[in-house]
Structure 1
Amino acid sequence: MKKKSFLIICTLVLAFAVLAGCTKTSDKKIKLTYVAWDSEIASTNVVREVLESKLGYKVEMLQVDAGPMYLGVSDGTADAMVAAWLPSTHGELYYEPNKDKFEDLGVNLTGTKLGLAVPTYMEINSIEDLAADEIGKSVDHTIVGIEPGAGIMSATHAAKEQYGLASWKILESSSAAMAKTLQAAYDKQEPIIVTAWTPHWMFAKMDLRYLADPKGTFGSEEQIHTIVRKGLKEDHPDAYRFLDQFEWTPADMEQVMIDIVEGMSEQEAAKKWVEANAGKVDAWISGI
């Protein structure tokens, strides 16, 4: 009887241990939110790949505009994002109104820039040059932009006012549509002016230059920050530690973007980069 009782107790203990393990695994879910910029598609997919392949999480991806991205992390409907462009692009519109509602883990990439860009075959060097009638006519007085909620679009509207470009139009589209329109014009050596930012694959694939911005409308060099919801550290300490240690370079990001634009899926490109950069990934998850 004693032996039988002992076996029953052992079986029950083992069953409870298995159930506890299953519960812990099922709780390992993370929601990442991001904007549909090529740069943020690259970074968010790399973060997802590490969370899933190295830390055992099931990751849900939420693609939204910039405003909802900040609100999602602020109200807890999303766990994290690695796409906060600061201090200028997202600062006044999205970061400042919500900064007490989330946790900023700091910089994950330095060396970003945004502004207006043109192919180098165009004879124009500054936003001030857009006032010249011949330049305006060559592009139908149009700047090709991206999503209307993006910070760079707000800056472009401000530039239109500050540089006296009342007759100019700012075409709203998307990051992908802008890049496609730019590539088509570039292939034909046609004039075009676009909203642009670095890192972006288009600077690796085409000879482009930023227009000088003497009035500083587009700000100076920026950084990309990682932001998480309050309470993530307590709920998922391993994911929190990884996100806190996540950092890479514009060259890293551009490699993922180039693989995607050349036909690889977002997941495949992220997996390729993670497998090829084991040292960096190990540093991100050290101590977990």
Structure 2
Amino acid sequence: MTKQLLSRRIRFASLAMLAGAGLAAGTAQAQDKGTVNLAYVEWASEVASTNVVRAVLEQAGYEVELTSLSAAAMFQALSTGDADAIVAAWLPTTHADYMERVGDSVDDLGANLEGTKLGLVVPAYTDVDSIAELDANADAFDGTITGIDPGAGLMSLTEQVVETYEFEEVDLQSGSGATMTAALDSAIKNEQDIVVTGWTPHWMFARWDLKYLEDPQDVYGGAEQINTIAREGLKEDMPGAYAILDAFEWTPEQMGEVMLMNQSGDAEPYENAKQWVAENQDVVQEWLPAES
């Protein structure tokens, strides 16, 4: 074992003990501090961020419940108070319709991650470079755009793409994030062409050599951000939890670390999130208020 690896393991063990102590103390206090209900969509990015926030809130002494929902149901749960917060609002484009419906009954805490992107993604070896070229090359990928869950904002935008570019030979096929990446994996292993709905940050860009297709009609818009949204009244009900959610902010690179951990190992996302939190206490401390 190299000295560098040994040093890293010692550092992690120390941090893990500190985080473990914090989590243990938090458990003892959780009954007093209450339970925070976090809703999320089953995107790799949101699974990563929501579990990290869960681990941080638990370190601060809260109990946390997670609920996986469709995008529409997630925003509805916020507006009715069935969920306390989300860290999964892609704005200003992807979830714009949902925010318009519930905007007066929720509290937008601002961006927790900047520099996101949406679009159609293909393997780098694919000859097609633009969405405008898809219809003429439909046979190369069986006339199918492989999508994710039908309730996702990305799918609504892609339906607009189909209309805007007046596709006659190309159809959008819904599925899930998992079925989309499985189809992408299979196509690349067989050196076949495939078009999928994609977004950044996502672990698939670290695993495979991919490219976004140009969008001359600008249907997907420019760079987006991921916002934290809380229900009305959370600030008054649980000011400490609200403060943590308000302070939570990280980078695509940090999110990518957690997403790769989720894809590369056998551990559950929650366990990976706790490990990342333990290893990155310098970052976590910036999210924790003096009195949380």
Q: Could you state the TM-score of these two structures normalised by the residue count of structure 2? A: 0.88
Q: 1:273 matched to which residue of 2? A: 276
Q: 2:48 matched to which residue of 1? A: 42
1:169 Cα deviation from its structure 2 partner: 1.4
Assess, with a 3 A threshold, how the Cα gap between structure 1 residues 217 and 26 changes in structure 2: closer, same or farther.
same
Structure 1 residue runs without a partner (length 5+): 1-21
Q: 2:192 matched to which residue of 1? A: 190
Assess, with a 3 A threshold, how the Cα gap between structure 1 residues 84 and 181 changes in structure 2: closer, same or farther.
same
| Residues 135 and 170, structure 2, Cα contact 8 Å, conserved in 1 | no
Aligned ranges for residues 141-160 of structure 1 at < 5 Å?
A: 141-160=143-162
CA distance in 2, matches of 1:24, 1:117: 44
Q: 2:19 matched to which residue of 1? A: none
CA distance in 2, matches of 1:131, 1:181: 20
CA deviation string 1:167-215 (max 9, x = no partner): 2111110011101111111122111000000000000100000000010
Q: 2:12 matched to which residue of 1? A: none
**2:154 is aligned with 1:140:** no
**2:36 is aligned with 1:30:** yes
Relative to structure 2, which stretch is displaced further, 36-45 or 158-167? 158-167
Q: 2:11 matched to which residue of 1? A: none
Aligned ranges for residues 1-288 of structure 1 at < 5 Å?
A: 25-52=31-58, 54-91=59-96, 93-132=97-136, 135-263=137-265, 264-288=267-291
- What count of residue pairs does the alignment treat as equivalent? 263
1:271 Cα deviation from its structure 2 partner: 1.1
Structure 2 residue runs without a partner (length 5+): 1-27
CA distance in 2, matches of 1:214, 1:162: 11
Assess, with a 3 A threshold, how the Cα gap between structure 1 residues 116 and 238 changes in structure 2: closer, same or farther.
same
Which 4+ residue blocks in structure 1 deviate beyond 4 angstroms? Answer: none
CA distance in 2, matches of 1:75, 1:121: 47
SS at match of 1:100: helix
1:25 Cα deviation from its structure 2 partner: 2.2
1:265 partner letter: E
| Residues 78 and 231, structure 2, Cα contact 8 Å, conserved in 1 | yes
Q: Could you state the TM-score of these two structures normalised by the residue count of structure 1? A: 0.89
SS at match of 2:104: coil
CA distance in 1, matches of 2:220, 2:33: 42
Q: 2:9 matched to which residue of 1? A: none
1:131 Cα deviation from its structure 2 partner: 2.4
CA distance in 2, matches of 1:26, 1:245: 22
| Residues 135 and 169, structure 2, Cα contact 8 Å, conserved in 1 | no
SS at match of 2:151: coil
Assess, with a 3 A threshold, how the Cα gap between structure 1 residues 227 and 281 changes in structure 2: closer, same or farther.
same
SS at match of 1:41: helix
CA distance in 2, matches of 1:26, 1:182: 47
CA distance in 2, matches of 1:100, 1:173: 32
CA distance in 1, matches of 2:141, 2:193: 6
CA distance in 2, matches of 1:205, 1:272: 22
CA distance in 2, matches of 1:23, 1:265: 25
Q: 1:6 matched to which residue of 2? A: none
RMSD: 1.3
1:24 Cα deviation from its structure 2 partner: 7.2
